[in-house]
A and B are shown apart, each in its own frame.
Chain A
Amino acid sequence: MLKAEQITVTFGGVRAVSDVSLAVPAGELLGLVGPNGSGKTTFLNAVCGIVPARGSLTVADRPVRLGRPNAACRAGIARVFQAPQTYGELSCLDNVLLSTSDRRLLGLTGAWPARPAMWKRERARWAFAMSALETVGLESCALEPASLLSYGQQRLLELARALAGSPSILLLDEPSAGLNDAETAALAALLGAVRAAGNTLVVVDHKIDFLDALCDRLVVLELGRVIASGPPDQVWRDDRVISAYLGVASDAEH
Protein backbone atom coordinates (compact mmCIF):
# COMPACT_ATOMS: atom_id res chain seq x y z
CA MET A 1 0.00 0.00 0.00
CA LEU A 2 2.66 2.49 1.09
CA LYS A 3 6.11 2.39 -0.38
CA ALA A 4 8.73 4.87 0.79
CA GLU A 5 12.16 4.84 -0.83
CA GLN A 6 15.25 6.57 0.45
CA ILE A 7 13.39 9.18 2.42
CA THR A 8 15.87 11.74 3.71
CA VAL A 9 15.07 14.71 5.92
CA THR A 10 17.77 17.26 6.70
CA PHE A 11 17.51 19.99 9.30
CA GLY A 12 20.38 22.37 8.78
CA GLY A 13 23.34 20.01 8.53
CA VAL A 14 21.71 17.25 10.57
CA ARG A 15 20.19 14.25 8.83
CA ALA A 16 17.20 13.44 11.00
CA VAL A 17 16.07 10.72 8.62
CA SER A 18 18.59 9.13 6.32
CA ASP A 19 17.72 6.96 3.32
CA VAL A 20 14.85 5.20 5.03
CA SER A 21 13.04 2.77 2.75
CA LEU A 22 9.88 1.11 3.91
CA ALA A 23 7.10 -0.90 2.32
CA VAL A 24 3.79 -1.50 4.03
CA PRO A 25 1.53 -4.02 2.28
CA ALA A 26 -2.22 -3.49 2.37
CA GLY A 27 -3.85 -4.65 5.58
CA GLU A 28 -0.64 -4.73 7.58
CA LEU A 29 -0.19 -3.14 10.99
CA LEU A 30 3.41 -2.01 11.11
CA GLY A 31 5.10 -0.88 14.30
CA LEU A 32 7.82 1.74 14.07
CA VAL A 33 10.10 1.84 17.08
CA GLY A 34 13.41 3.26 18.09
CA PRO A 35 15.06 5.23 20.89
CA ASN A 36 14.30 8.91 21.41
CA GLY A 37 15.62 11.02 18.55
CA SER A 38 15.78 8.11 16.14
CA GLY A 39 13.62 9.95 13.59
CA LYS A 40 10.30 8.12 13.93
CA THR A 41 8.09 11.19 14.16
CA THR A 42 10.15 13.04 11.56
CA PHE A 43 9.64 10.12 9.20
CA LEU A 44 5.88 10.33 9.72
CA ASN A 45 6.04 14.10 9.17
CA ALA A 46 7.89 13.55 5.92
CA VAL A 47 5.36 11.01 4.71
CA CYS A 48 2.41 13.30 5.39
CA GLY A 49 4.11 16.29 3.81
CA ILE A 50 4.60 18.53 6.84
CA VAL A 51 8.38 18.69 6.51
CA PRO A 52 10.32 18.93 3.26
CA ALA A 53 12.01 15.66 2.38
CA ARG A 54 13.88 13.95 -0.44
CA GLY A 55 13.21 10.47 -1.76
CA SER A 56 10.17 8.92 -3.33
CA LEU A 57 6.82 7.90 -1.99
CA THR A 58 3.98 5.93 -3.54
CA VAL A 59 0.59 5.05 -2.14
CA ALA A 60 -1.20 2.21 -3.95
CA ASP A 61 1.50 2.47 -6.64
CA ARG A 62 0.73 6.11 -7.33
CA PRO A 63 3.52 8.62 -6.67
CA VAL A 64 2.92 11.26 -3.98
CA ARG A 65 4.66 14.61 -4.01
CA LEU A 66 6.70 15.16 -0.89
CA GLY A 67 6.39 18.30 1.19
CA ARG A 68 2.74 18.97 0.31
CA PRO A 69 0.22 18.20 3.09
CA ASN A 70 -2.61 18.56 0.58
CA ALA A 71 -1.05 16.05 -1.78
CA ALA A 72 -0.49 13.53 1.00
CA CYS A 73 -4.04 13.98 2.18
CA ARG A 74 -5.43 13.47 -1.33
CA ALA A 75 -3.33 10.33 -1.71
CA GLY A 76 -5.13 8.89 1.31
CA ILE A 77 -2.48 9.33 3.99
CA ALA A 78 -4.15 10.15 7.31
CA ARG A 79 -2.34 11.11 10.47
CA VAL A 80 -3.11 11.01 14.18
CA PHE A 81 -0.79 13.24 16.17
CA GLN A 82 0.78 12.59 19.54
CA ALA A 83 -0.72 15.79 20.95
CA PRO A 84 -4.35 15.69 19.78
CA GLN A 85 -5.00 18.24 17.04
CA THR A 86 -8.71 18.78 17.21
CA TYR A 87 -10.73 21.94 16.70
CA GLY A 88 -11.94 22.76 20.20
CA GLU A 89 -14.54 25.23 18.96
CA LEU A 90 -16.14 22.79 16.52
CA SER A 91 -18.41 19.97 17.61
CA CYS A 92 -17.04 16.44 17.58
CA LEU A 93 -19.21 15.64 14.57
CA ASP A 94 -17.92 18.70 12.70
CA ASN A 95 -14.35 17.67 13.50
CA VAL A 96 -14.94 14.28 11.95
CA LEU A 97 -16.85 15.70 8.98
CA LEU A 98 -13.86 17.83 7.99
CA SER A 99 -12.00 14.83 6.64
CA THR A 100 -14.88 13.36 4.69
CA SER A 101 -13.83 11.48 1.60
CA ASP A 102 -16.91 12.70 -0.29
CA ARG A 103 -15.62 15.95 -1.68
CA ARG A 104 -18.60 17.06 -3.70
CA LEU A 105 -20.56 20.27 -3.01
CA LEU A 106 -18.34 21.40 -0.17
CA GLY A 107 -17.94 24.91 -1.60
CA LEU A 108 -20.12 27.96 -1.83
CA THR A 109 -22.29 26.48 -4.56
CA GLY A 110 -23.28 23.81 -2.06
CA ALA A 111 -23.93 26.47 0.55
CA TRP A 112 -26.47 28.26 -1.57
CA PRO A 113 -27.55 27.48 -5.13
CA ALA A 114 -27.33 23.68 -4.87
CA ARG A 115 -28.61 23.24 -1.35
CA PRO A 116 -30.94 20.22 -1.76
CA ALA A 117 -28.18 18.20 -3.39
CA MET A 118 -25.74 19.38 -0.74
CA TRP A 119 -28.10 18.31 2.06
CA LYS A 120 -28.46 14.89 0.49
CA ARG A 121 -24.69 14.44 0.44
CA GLU A 122 -24.38 16.03 3.85
CA ARG A 123 -26.78 13.48 5.36
CA ALA A 124 -24.69 10.65 3.93
CA ARG A 125 -21.57 12.30 5.32
CA TRP A 126 -23.20 12.62 8.73
CA ALA A 127 -24.09 8.96 8.79
CA PHE A 128 -20.55 8.00 7.85
CA ALA A 129 -19.05 10.36 10.43
CA MET A 130 -21.38 9.01 13.11
CA SER A 131 -20.27 5.47 12.36
CA ALA A 132 -16.65 6.59 12.73
CA LEU A 133 -17.53 8.15 16.08
CA GLU A 134 -19.26 4.90 17.08
CA THR A 135 -16.15 2.95 16.16
CA VAL A 136 -14.14 4.90 18.72
CA GLY A 137 -17.01 5.09 21.21
CA LEU A 138 -17.64 8.82 21.09
CA GLU A 139 -21.09 8.79 19.48
CA SER A 140 -22.70 10.21 22.62
CA CYS A 141 -20.57 13.38 22.44
CA ALA A 142 -21.20 14.06 18.74
CA LEU A 143 -22.73 17.50 19.17
CA GLU A 144 -20.54 18.71 22.03
CA PRO A 145 -17.60 20.98 21.34
CA ALA A 146 -14.38 19.01 21.13
CA SER A 147 -12.80 21.20 23.81
CA LEU A 148 -14.97 19.45 26.43
CA LEU A 149 -13.37 16.06 25.75
CA SER A 150 -10.63 14.55 27.90
CA TYR A 151 -7.12 14.14 26.51
CA GLY A 152 -7.63 10.48 25.72
CA GLN A 153 -11.00 11.15 24.15
CA GLN A 154 -9.53 13.87 21.96
CA ARG A 155 -7.06 11.35 20.63
CA LEU A 156 -9.91 8.99 19.88
CA LEU A 157 -11.73 11.84 18.14
CA GLU A 158 -8.71 12.42 15.99
CA LEU A 159 -8.64 8.73 15.16
CA ALA A 160 -12.32 8.90 14.21
CA ARG A 161 -11.60 11.88 11.99
CA ALA A 162 -8.75 10.01 10.31
CA LEU A 163 -10.98 6.96 9.76
CA ALA A 164 -13.81 9.08 8.34
CA GLY A 165 -11.56 10.02 5.46
CA SER A 166 -11.43 6.33 4.41
CA PRO A 167 -7.65 6.58 4.29
CA SER A 168 -5.41 4.23 2.32
CA ILE A 169 -2.98 4.30 5.18
CA LEU A 170 -3.24 5.58 8.72
CA LEU A 171 -0.21 6.93 10.58
CA LEU A 172 -0.46 7.01 14.40
CA ASP A 173 2.14 8.80 16.53
CA GLU A 174 2.39 7.51 20.10
CA PRO A 175 -1.29 6.69 20.47
CA SER A 176 -0.76 5.13 23.92
CA ALA A 177 1.16 8.05 25.42
CA GLY A 178 -0.47 9.31 28.59
CA LEU A 179 -2.93 6.42 28.79
CA ASN A 180 -3.15 4.05 31.80
CA ASP A 181 -2.99 0.26 31.40
CA ALA A 182 -6.71 -0.24 31.03
CA GLU A 183 -6.97 2.55 28.47
CA THR A 184 -3.98 1.17 26.59
CA ALA A 185 -5.59 -2.25 26.44
CA ALA A 186 -8.82 -0.70 25.14
CA LEU A 187 -6.84 1.21 22.52
CA ALA A 188 -5.08 -1.98 21.44
CA ALA A 189 -8.45 -3.66 21.03
CA LEU A 190 -9.72 -0.67 19.04
CA LEU A 191 -6.70 -0.61 16.72
CA GLY A 192 -7.03 -4.36 16.24
CA ALA A 193 -10.61 -3.86 15.20
CA VAL A 194 -9.68 -1.01 12.87
CA ARG A 195 -7.08 -3.20 11.26
CA ALA A 196 -9.50 -6.10 11.02
CA ALA A 197 -11.85 -3.79 9.11
CA GLY A 198 -9.25 -3.75 6.34
CA ASN A 199 -7.20 -0.66 7.17
CA THR A 200 -3.45 -0.35 6.80
CA LEU A 201 -1.70 1.21 9.77
CA VAL A 202 1.72 2.45 10.81
CA VAL A 203 2.01 2.93 14.57
CA VAL A 204 4.87 4.68 16.34
CA ASP A 205 5.00 3.91 20.03
CA HIS A 206 7.24 3.49 23.04
CA LYS A 207 5.25 0.78 24.78
CA ILE A 208 6.86 -2.43 23.58
CA ASP A 209 4.20 -4.76 24.96
CA PHE A 210 1.50 -2.75 23.30
CA LEU A 211 3.17 -3.03 19.91
CA ASP A 212 4.25 -6.66 20.32
CA ALA A 213 0.67 -7.72 20.89
CA LEU A 214 -0.60 -5.66 17.95
CA CYS A 215 1.92 -5.71 15.13
CA ASP A 216 2.81 -8.23 12.46
CA ARG A 217 6.11 -6.59 11.90
CA LEU A 218 8.36 -4.04 13.58
CA VAL A 219 10.81 -1.63 11.96
CA VAL A 220 13.49 -0.23 14.21
CA LEU A 221 15.10 3.14 13.57
CA GLU A 222 18.26 4.45 15.12
CA LEU A 223 19.79 7.84 14.32
CA GLY A 224 17.57 8.16 11.28
CA ARG A 225 18.44 4.77 9.78
CA VAL A 226 16.62 1.43 9.64
CA ILE A 227 18.60 -1.04 11.72
CA ALA A 228 16.19 -3.95 11.85
CA SER A 229 12.93 -5.15 10.43
CA GLY A 230 10.84 -8.27 10.98
CA PRO A 231 8.40 -10.03 13.34
CA PRO A 232 8.59 -8.69 16.93
CA ASP A 233 10.28 -11.65 18.59
CA GLN A 234 12.91 -11.80 15.87
CA VAL A 235 13.60 -8.07 16.02
CA TRP A 236 14.11 -8.04 19.76
CA ARG A 237 16.78 -10.69 19.44
CA ASP A 238 18.76 -8.58 16.98
CA ASP A 239 22.11 -7.47 18.46
CA ARG A 240 21.97 -4.03 16.92
CA VAL A 241 18.52 -3.45 18.36
CA ILE A 242 19.62 -4.63 21.76
CA SER A 243 22.68 -2.40 21.74
CA ALA A 244 20.66 0.54 20.45
CA TYR A 245 18.14 0.15 23.27
CA LEU A 246 20.70 -0.69 25.96
CA GLY A 247 23.06 1.99 24.79
CA VAL A 248 26.00 -0.48 24.28
CA ALA A 249 28.50 0.70 21.71
CA SER A 250 28.22 -1.31 18.52
CA ASP A 251 32.01 -1.57 18.23
CA ALA A 252 31.93 -4.14 21.11
CA GLU A 253 32.27 -6.78 18.39
CA HIS A 254 35.86 -5.80 17.88
Chain B
Amino acid sequence: MDKFVALTASGIAYGAVLAVVALGFLVLYKATGVVNFAHGDLVTLGAYLAVWTTTSLGLPTVPGYLAAIALMGLVGVAIERVAYAPLRSRPPMVVVIATLAAAIVIRGIIAVWQGSEPKTLAGPVGNRVVHIAGAAIAEQRLLITGVAAVAVLALLFVFQRTPYGRQVRALAADPEMARLTGVRTRLVAMGAFALSAMLAALAGILIAPLGAVDLNFGFGLMVTAFAAAVLGGFGSLGGVVLGALVIGLIQQLFGGYVLPDYAATFPAIVLFLVIAVRPEGLLNLTRSRL
Protein backbone atom coordinates (compact mmCIF):
# COMPACT_ATOMS: atom_id res chain seq x y z
CA MET B 1 0.00 0.00 0.00
CA ASP B 2 2.69 2.48 1.01
CA LYS B 3 4.54 1.63 -2.19
CA PHE B 4 1.44 2.41 -4.24
CA VAL B 5 0.90 5.69 -2.42
CA ALA B 6 4.53 6.72 -2.84
CA LEU B 7 4.56 5.90 -6.55
CA THR B 8 1.22 7.61 -7.15
CA ALA B 9 2.35 10.75 -5.34
CA SER B 10 5.56 10.97 -7.34
CA GLY B 11 3.64 10.23 -10.54
CA ILE B 12 1.22 13.08 -9.86
CA ALA B 13 4.01 15.52 -9.02
CA TYR B 14 5.91 14.63 -12.18
CA GLY B 15 2.71 14.84 -14.22
CA ALA B 16 2.00 18.27 -12.75
CA VAL B 17 5.35 19.62 -13.95
CA LEU B 18 4.80 18.01 -17.34
CA ALA B 19 1.42 19.71 -17.51
CA VAL B 20 2.98 23.14 -16.92
CA VAL B 21 5.60 22.49 -19.62
CA ALA B 22 3.00 21.14 -22.06
CA LEU B 23 0.65 24.06 -21.46
CA GLY B 24 3.41 26.54 -22.20
CA PHE B 25 4.05 24.68 -25.42
CA LEU B 26 0.35 24.63 -26.28
CA VAL B 27 -0.43 28.28 -25.48
CA LEU B 28 2.11 29.38 -28.04
CA TYR B 29 0.91 26.87 -30.59
CA LYS B 30 -2.70 27.99 -30.18
CA ALA B 31 -1.97 31.69 -30.43
CA THR B 32 0.63 31.69 -33.19
CA GLY B 33 0.67 28.22 -34.77
CA VAL B 34 4.32 27.85 -33.81
CA VAL B 35 5.55 24.52 -32.45
CA ASN B 36 8.39 25.88 -30.38
CA PHE B 37 11.22 23.39 -29.99
CA ALA B 38 13.14 25.94 -27.96
CA HIS B 39 10.64 25.48 -25.15
CA GLY B 40 12.84 22.95 -23.36
CA ASP B 41 15.74 25.36 -23.38
CA LEU B 42 13.47 28.06 -22.03
CA VAL B 43 12.77 25.69 -19.12
CA THR B 44 16.54 25.41 -18.63
CA LEU B 45 17.02 29.17 -18.90
CA GLY B 46 14.26 29.81 -16.37
CA ALA B 47 15.92 27.51 -13.86
CA TYR B 48 19.33 29.14 -14.43
CA LEU B 49 17.78 32.61 -14.00
CA ALA B 50 16.32 31.45 -10.68
CA VAL B 51 19.75 30.17 -9.63
CA TRP B 52 21.17 33.56 -10.62
CA THR B 53 18.57 35.65 -8.77
CA THR B 54 18.82 33.56 -5.60
CA THR B 55 22.61 33.16 -5.49
CA SER B 56 24.31 35.97 -7.44
CA LEU B 57 21.68 38.61 -6.64
CA GLY B 58 21.11 37.13 -3.20
CA LEU B 59 17.31 37.41 -3.28
CA PRO B 60 15.31 35.20 -0.91
CA THR B 61 13.93 32.04 -2.48
CA VAL B 62 10.38 33.01 -3.41
CA PRO B 63 11.03 36.63 -4.54
CA GLY B 64 14.00 35.28 -6.49
CA TYR B 65 11.74 32.80 -8.23
CA LEU B 66 9.19 35.47 -9.07
CA ALA B 67 11.90 37.75 -10.42
CA ALA B 68 13.16 34.92 -12.62
CA ILE B 69 9.65 34.26 -13.94
CA ALA B 70 9.16 37.96 -14.68
CA LEU B 71 12.50 38.11 -16.48
CA MET B 72 11.46 35.13 -18.56
CA GLY B 73 8.38 37.06 -19.63
CA LEU B 74 10.72 39.68 -21.09
CA VAL B 75 12.82 36.95 -22.69
CA GLY B 76 9.65 35.63 -24.32
CA VAL B 77 8.84 39.06 -25.76
CA ALA B 78 12.42 39.42 -26.98
CA ILE B 79 12.24 36.07 -28.76
CA GLU B 80 8.97 37.11 -30.40
CA ARG B 81 10.54 40.35 -31.62
CA VAL B 82 13.85 38.89 -32.78
CA ALA B 83 13.04 35.39 -33.96
CA TYR B 84 9.33 35.22 -34.71
CA ALA B 85 8.11 38.62 -35.95
CA PRO B 86 10.47 38.73 -38.96
CA LEU B 87 9.32 35.25 -40.00
CA ARG B 88 5.60 35.81 -39.46
CA SER B 89 4.64 35.37 -43.10
CA ARG B 90 6.95 32.43 -43.78
CA PRO B 91 5.77 28.81 -44.04
CA PRO B 92 5.42 27.01 -40.67
CA MET B 93 8.35 24.68 -41.45
CA VAL B 94 10.70 27.66 -41.67
CA VAL B 95 9.51 28.92 -38.31
CA VAL B 96 9.93 25.48 -36.71
CA ILE B 97 13.50 25.31 -37.95
CA ALA B 98 14.06 28.82 -36.60
CA THR B 99 12.91 27.60 -33.17
CA LEU B 100 15.50 24.81 -33.31
CA ALA B 101 18.12 27.44 -34.05
CA ALA B 102 16.80 29.51 -31.15
CA ALA B 103 17.18 26.47 -28.90
CA ILE B 104 20.85 26.12 -29.80
CA VAL B 105 21.45 29.84 -29.33
CA ILE B 106 19.79 29.84 -25.90
CA ARG B 107 21.84 26.83 -24.83
CA GLY B 108 25.03 28.47 -26.08
CA ILE B 109 24.27 31.69 -24.22
CA ILE B 110 23.63 29.77 -20.99
CA ALA B 111 26.91 27.87 -21.43
CA VAL B 112 28.89 31.07 -21.89
CA TRP B 113 27.08 32.84 -19.06
CA GLN B 114 26.88 30.10 -16.45
CA GLY B 115 29.46 27.56 -17.58
CA SER B 116 28.91 23.86 -17.98
CA GLU B 117 28.98 22.82 -14.36
CA PRO B 118 25.66 21.74 -12.96
CA LYS B 119 24.01 24.18 -10.55
CA THR B 120 21.68 23.54 -7.70
CA LEU B 121 18.57 25.55 -6.94
CA ALA B 122 17.48 25.80 -3.34
CA GLY B 123 13.87 24.79 -2.76
CA PRO B 124 11.63 26.69 -0.36
CA VAL B 125 10.89 23.58 1.73
CA GLY B 126 14.28 21.86 1.75
CA ASN B 127 14.36 18.08 2.14
CA ARG B 128 11.42 17.74 4.51
CA VAL B 129 8.94 14.91 4.06
CA VAL B 130 5.39 14.17 5.14
CA HIS B 131 4.07 10.67 5.75
CA ILE B 132 0.84 9.68 4.07
CA ALA B 133 -0.45 6.12 4.59
CA GLY B 134 3.03 4.99 5.54
CA ALA B 135 4.69 6.50 2.46
CA ALA B 136 7.29 9.24 2.79
CA ILE B 137 6.52 12.04 0.36
CA ALA B 138 8.83 15.00 -0.10
CA GLU B 139 7.17 18.31 0.66
CA GLN B 140 8.69 19.71 -2.52
CA ARG B 141 6.53 17.25 -4.47
CA LEU B 142 3.38 18.41 -2.71
CA LEU B 143 4.44 21.99 -3.39
CA ILE B 144 4.95 21.19 -7.07
CA THR B 145 1.48 19.69 -7.32
CA GLY B 146 -0.15 22.61 -5.53
CA VAL B 147 1.61 25.36 -7.46
CA ALA B 148 1.06 23.60 -10.78
CA ALA B 149 -2.65 23.21 -9.99
CA VAL B 150 -2.96 26.93 -9.22
CA ALA B 151 -1.09 27.78 -12.43
CA VAL B 152 -3.36 25.55 -14.51
CA LEU B 153 -6.50 27.06 -12.98
CA ALA B 154 -5.18 30.59 -13.52
CA LEU B 155 -4.45 29.73 -17.12
CA LEU B 156 -7.93 28.27 -17.64
CA PHE B 157 -9.35 31.47 -16.19
CA VAL B 158 -7.28 33.63 -18.52
CA PHE B 159 -8.42 31.64 -21.51
CA GLN B 160 -12.08 31.30 -20.69
CA ARG B 161 -12.82 34.60 -19.01
CA THR B 162 -10.63 37.39 -20.35
CA PRO B 163 -10.54 39.31 -23.61
CA TYR B 164 -7.00 38.01 -24.12
CA GLY B 165 -8.20 34.41 -23.94
CA ARG B 166 -11.08 35.19 -26.27
CA GLN B 167 -8.66 36.43 -28.91
CA VAL B 168 -6.38 33.41 -28.53
CA ARG B 169 -9.34 31.08 -28.94
CA ALA B 170 -10.38 32.93 -32.08
CA LEU B 171 -6.84 32.82 -33.47
CA ALA B 172 -6.60 29.11 -32.74
CA ALA B 173 -9.86 28.43 -34.58
CA ASP B 174 -9.24 30.56 -37.68
CA PRO B 175 -6.25 32.92 -37.84
CA GLU B 176 -7.24 34.50 -41.18
CA MET B 177 -10.73 35.32 -39.99
CA ALA B 178 -9.41 36.62 -36.68
CA ARG B 179 -7.35 39.21 -38.51
CA LEU B 180 -10.45 40.40 -40.37
CA THR B 181 -12.50 40.77 -37.24
CA GLY B 182 -9.91 42.95 -35.60
CA VAL B 183 -8.09 40.50 -33.32
CA ARG B 184 -4.78 42.12 -32.51
CA THR B 185 -2.56 39.32 -33.69
CA ARG B 186 0.71 41.02 -32.89
CA LEU B 187 -0.31 41.80 -29.34
CA VAL B 188 -1.66 38.30 -28.85
CA ALA B 189 1.54 36.74 -30.24
CA MET B 190 3.73 38.83 -27.95
CA GLY B 191 1.59 37.93 -24.97
CA ALA B 192 1.65 34.25 -25.90
CA PHE B 193 5.45 34.22 -26.15
CA ALA B 194 5.69 35.93 -22.76
CA LEU B 195 3.16 33.59 -21.16
CA SER B 196 4.77 30.52 -22.67
CA ALA B 197 8.23 31.51 -21.47
CA MET B 198 6.90 32.25 -17.99
CA LEU B 199 5.26 28.84 -17.81
CA ALA B 200 8.54 27.27 -18.93
CA ALA B 201 10.36 29.10 -16.15
CA LEU B 202 7.76 28.02 -13.59
CA ALA B 203 8.18 24.37 -14.59
CA GLY B 204 11.96 24.65 -14.40
CA ILE B 205 11.86 26.29 -11.00
CA LEU B 206 9.44 23.70 -9.63
CA ILE B 207 11.47 20.69 -10.62
CA ALA B 208 15.04 22.00 -10.35
CA PRO B 209 15.29 21.68 -6.53
CA LEU B 210 14.68 17.92 -6.90
CA GLY B 211 17.77 17.40 -9.03
CA ALA B 212 20.28 19.83 -10.46
CA VAL B 213 20.30 22.23 -13.38
CA ASP B 214 22.55 21.60 -16.34
CA LEU B 215 22.43 22.51 -20.00
CA ASN B 216 20.26 19.53 -20.98
CA PHE B 217 17.91 19.95 -18.06
CA GLY B 218 14.83 21.12 -19.96
CA PHE B 219 15.16 19.21 -23.19
CA GLY B 220 14.14 15.79 -21.88
CA LEU B 221 11.28 17.39 -20.00
CA MET B 222 10.06 19.02 -23.21
CA VAL B 223 10.07 15.73 -25.13
CA THR B 224 8.03 14.00 -22.43
CA ALA B 225 5.68 16.98 -22.21
CA PHE B 226 5.26 16.83 -25.97
CA ALA B 227 4.12 13.22 -25.58
CA ALA B 228 1.64 14.39 -22.94
CA ALA B 229 0.34 17.12 -25.25
CA VAL B 230 -0.15 14.65 -28.10
CA LEU B 231 -1.84 12.20 -25.73
CA GLY B 232 -4.22 14.97 -24.74
CA GLY B 233 -5.06 15.67 -28.37
CA PHE B 234 -2.80 18.73 -28.70
CA GLY B 235 -5.88 20.84 -28.21
CA SER B 236 -7.88 21.32 -25.07
CA LEU B 237 -6.11 22.57 -21.95
CA GLY B 238 -7.95 19.99 -19.86
CA GLY B 239 -6.95 17.18 -22.20
CA VAL B 240 -3.30 18.14 -21.97
CA VAL B 241 -3.40 18.25 -18.16
CA LEU B 242 -4.98 14.79 -18.13
CA GLY B 243 -2.42 13.54 -20.65
CA ALA B 244 0.41 14.83 -18.48
CA LEU B 245 -0.95 13.13 -15.37
CA VAL B 246 -1.43 9.87 -17.26
CA ILE B 247 2.16 9.95 -18.53
CA GLY B 248 3.49 10.77 -15.04
CA LEU B 249 1.53 7.96 -13.42
CA ILE B 250 2.32 5.40 -16.13
CA GLN B 251 6.00 6.17 -15.83
CA GLN B 252 6.07 5.80 -12.05
CA LEU B 253 3.56 2.94 -11.56
CA PHE B 254 4.49 0.88 -14.59
CA GLY B 255 8.14 1.64 -13.82
CA GLY B 256 7.71 0.70 -10.18
CA TYR B 257 5.76 -2.49 -10.63
CA VAL B 258 6.29 -3.94 -14.09
CA LEU B 259 9.30 -2.98 -16.17
CA PRO B 260 11.58 -0.69 -14.15
CA ASP B 261 14.42 -0.62 -16.69
CA TYR B 262 12.23 0.77 -19.42
CA ALA B 263 10.34 3.42 -17.45
CA ALA B 264 12.20 6.25 -19.19
CA THR B 265 11.13 5.06 -22.63
CA PHE B 266 7.39 4.90 -21.85
CA PRO B 267 6.58 8.46 -22.87
CA ALA B 268 8.23 7.89 -26.25
CA ILE B 269 6.35 4.62 -26.72
CA VAL B 270 3.07 6.30 -25.77
CA LEU B 271 3.83 9.13 -28.19
CA PHE B 272 4.49 6.65 -30.97
CA LEU B 273 1.39 4.58 -30.28
CA VAL B 274 -0.88 7.60 -30.08
CA ILE B 275 0.41 9.03 -33.34
CA ALA B 276 0.05 5.65 -35.04
CA VAL B 277 -3.32 4.57 -33.66
CA ARG B 278 -5.24 7.63 -32.52
CA PRO B 279 -3.66 10.80 -33.86
CA GLU B 280 -6.53 12.89 -32.50
CA GLY B 281 -5.39 11.99 -28.97
CA LEU B 282 -6.71 9.46 -26.47
CA LEU B 283 -8.28 11.98 -24.18
CA ASN B 284 -9.78 14.41 -26.62
CA LEU B 285 -13.21 14.00 -25.08
CA THR B 286 -14.65 17.38 -25.90
CA ARG B 287 -14.53 19.37 -29.07
CA SER B 288 -13.55 22.45 -27.15
CA ARG B 289 -10.15 23.66 -28.18
CA LEU B 290 -9.24 25.62 -25.13
Contacts and interface: CB of A to CB of B under 8 A. Distances in A.
A–B interface present (Cβ within 8 A): yes
Interface of A: 48, 50, 69-70, 72-74, 79, 85, 87-90, 94, 97-101, 103, 105-108, 110-112, 118, 122, 125, 161, 165
Interface-centre pick from B166, B173, B188 (highest chain A CB count, 10 A): B166
A99 B181 contact: yes
Interface string B157-201: 010001111110110011011111111110110110011000000
A98 B289 contact: no
A98 B181 contact: yes
A165 B169 CA distance: 19
Contacts of B178: 98
Contacts of B183: 98
B287 interface: yes
Interface-centre pick from B163, B183, B194 (highest chain A CB count, 10 A): B163
B67 to A, nearest CB: 15
Nearest to B290: A89
B288 interface: yes
Contacts of A122: 162-163
A-B pairs, 7 with minimum CB distance: A108-B191, A111-B164, A111-B162, A69-B179, A99-B181, A106-B163, A73-B182
B158 A87 contact: no
B264 to A, nearest CB: 36
Contacts of A50: 176, 180
Interface of B: 158, 162-167, 169-170, 173-174, 176-185, 187-188, 190-191, 194-195, 287-289
B165 A111 contact: yes
Contacts of B158: 108, 111-112
A106 B169 contact: no
Contacts of B188: 107
A106 B195 CA distance: 15
Contacts of B163: 97, 100, 105-106, 110-111, 118, 122, 125
8 contacts: A50-B176, A69-B176, A87-B170, A89-B173, A90-B166, A106-B184, A108-B195, A110-B164
Nearest to B158: A111
B170 A73 contact: no
A48 B180 contact: yes
Contact of B182 (A99, A107, A108, A125): A99
A106 B164 contact: yes
Contact of A97 (B166, B179, B194): B166
Contacts of B287: 89
Nearest to A88: B173
Contacts of A125: 163
